[in-house]
Amino acid sequence: MLDLYNKTLSHSPNMQEQWFLLDASKITLGKLATLTSILLRGKLDLYYTPGVNNGNYVIIINANQIQVTGNKKAKKLYWRHSGRPGGLTLETFNELLDKKPERIIEKAVKGMLPKNSLGRAYFRRLKVYKDATHPFTEKNIEILKV
């Protein structure tokens, strides 16, 4: 008889990649970032291995309709630095939402991924779009209702 309880499950290199679609207009920023990082890392998969990139992709649409709670729209700050003297740029949530709403979600998700080469590989599998159109129509995409 086959003893299934003494077998170690591991990731196979020829496993099928999964694509997930999330709508940012129906969820707050923190919950969206948490769910996205879990999906990118593959923590819900049967063959989850911490040190292996399992091949999940996440597409986020309607980034310009992202919601935050409290007074974060006026007080939350995003900063970046060019590396040059005096190159600090500060923007509020509302300013960044008008210019590049994709960057808000990308920064939130990137902060929840591992800070190593595997985290960078996970981040490359994240696709964020500010409206409801995306170029991945031929893929077998699973639409997640949140």
pLDDT, tens digit (0-9, with 9 covering 90-100), for 81-92: 999 999 999 999
Instruction: Report d(CA 136, CA 146) in Å as an integer.
Output: 21
Per residue in 130-143, pLDDT (tens digit) is: 999 998 887 788 88
Look-up: residue for tokens 């299934």?
A: 4
Q: Which of 21-30, 49-58, 100-109, 127-136 has the lowest mean pLDDT?
A: 49-58
Q: What angle do CA 117, 130, 98 make, to 5 degrees?
A: 105
The pTM of this model reads 0.87
Domains of the chain: 17-66+101-143 (3.90.1180.10)
The token pair at 64 is 């310009």
